[in-house]
A and B are shown apart, each in its own frame.
Chain A
Amino acid sequence: MYPPAVRSLSRKRSCVSAFHSIPARPRMRFADFFRCAALAACFFLVLAVSAQRVNNTHPMFQTVSPLGAASNFVVVIDAAHGGSDLGARLSPALDEKTVTLALARRLRSLLAAHGISVVMTRTGDTALPMATRAGIANHAHAAACLILHATDSGVGVHLFTSSLSPAPRPEIPAWGTAQAGYIHQSVRLSSDVDAAFIHTTVPVIVGRTFLQPLDNLTCPALAIELAPKPSSTLTSAKSVDNPGYQSTVLNAIVTGILQWQQDWSHQP
């Protein structure tokens, strides 16, 4: 019988000798290869699932392309605010972000029904940085970019184009003045939408402003702000949220966009 220290040493020795006695090298290589293959398969599986999820959820890919649509006439709709950015507080229970998203969804459906492809910058209650909104719109190469807002001040509908001075389009536009090359088209778009309200009782105010991301867009762009219905018995918030009033305004906007589609197709 050995003392404990010697027994431990002899066990280690036996282990080492056993390890050396087995031809382990070729078996380890095969195991490594097997593990690598399994890992790569898992990686590609995860990648494929992620790509599928991005395709389904990212707003940039949320394009409604109805059959028979003019393939290159795309309208971008940007529902302003979202997430922690509430926008104007129209009433204690109603924020601007909720109204703009509801308007954007209805407008998307109406435009799609007329065969127009639509890209939404957001489809849920998410906060998007201005640069991301402009990036989505600019990548869509849109024929019209509509930024939707709502307020409880003033009456009717306010149409705003950028206050930037018109300038020739450079090959690579500067971020802060990207809209400068599209001012003439934006004013024309504004004029078409304004003209569509003639047959309604909704007053329209046309103006120019400095607004993000309007100035960063490389497309004919228009900010549309819904204000309370004139001489309404409802409070301003209820008036802005009124489905009938919204329908009147949205139908006029669609009429304006259809007119713009004709004007746009005749442009060089």
Chain B
Amino acid sequence: MISRIGQWLVLVLFVACIAMAAILIRTRQRAHDRLEAPLTSSVPLSQTPDEPRVSVTLMMPDDKTGSLDPISETLALPQDESARAQALIDQLIASWRAPGSPHPIKASAGVDSVFLMPVPGEPGSQLAIVNFDAAFPLAQPSGIEPETLTLLSIIQTLHENIPSITEVRFLVNGQPGATLAGHADLMRTYLAESTVPGSKS
């Protein structure tokens, strides 16, 4: 025979289990909503007419001279830094696709997303994680020089317009890749300060 106290104890534990399950389900749902929030247009990823237009500097690579040439443009950029970084790279890649570009790249390839996170031990510094889409390595001309210029152009453009970005890492389709298109190393973190383009003689 179970005592009266034992019966109450079982009942209380049962109610506690139900309540904890409900809290867990609710918390999971909120975390899921929070993760999906940027994808459901709470933050604009492309420039909108409402955003203020600002002057930006794009570091345009030139395959024939092996250099990066600064080009000034006026863009409407979003306030969020991650979205701004992605808008800058989108604009840069669009300029590579333009006819007569000194660093041509095939169409329909670009960047899926850009994430910014603080650099541990360096307050004010940010690490940008640039996630190329799966088509980008195929569209990128293969070679040490064109691949190096692609990476340097993105790194220097980000650092020029968002100085807090001091380090950049690259992913392809969400995964770390060994190389961009068979040459430039993607397994390391690039420091914006120490990456310099080549010189022609």
Contacts and interface: CB of A to CB of B under 8 A. Distances in A.
Interface in B174-201: 178-179, 181-185, 188, 190, 194-201
Given A81-B182, A88-B182, A151 B144 contact: yes
Interface of A: 81, 85, 87-89, 96, 149-155, 158, 160, 163, 165, 176, 194, 197, 203-212, 215, 223, 225, 227
A236 to B, nearest CB: 10
18 contacts: A88-B182, A149-B183, A152-B141, A153-B141, A153-B142, A153-B143, A154-B145, A165-B194, A205-B200, A205-B201, A207-B197, A208-B198, A209-B144, A210-B184, A210-B188, A212-B178, A212-B185, A227-B143
Interface of B: 63-66, 141-146, 148, 178-179, 181-185, 188, 190, 194-201
Given A154-B63, A154-B64, A215-B185, A208 B196 contact: yes
* A interface majority secondary structure: mixed
Contact of A87 (B63, B66, B142): B142
A89 B200 CA distance: 25
3 cross-chain pairs, A with B, having the tightest CB-CB distances, nearest first? A207-B198, A151-B143, A88-B142
A151 B66 contact: no
Contacts of B63: 153-154
* B interface majority secondary structure: loop
Given A154-B66, A194-B201, A209 B184 contact: yes
Q: Which of A150, A207, A227 is most buried by chain B, counting CB atoms within 10 A of its CB?
A: A207
A252 B183 CA distance: 24
A204 B181 CA distance: 22
A88 B143 contact: yes
A216 to B, nearest CB: 11
Contacts of B148: 160, 207, 209-210
A211 B188 CA distance: 10
Contact of B145 (A96, A207, A212): A207
Contacts of B66: 154, 158, 205-207
A225 B144 contact: yes
B182 A87 contact: yes
Contacts of A223: 144
Nearest to B182: A87
Contact of B199 (A81, A163, A206): A206
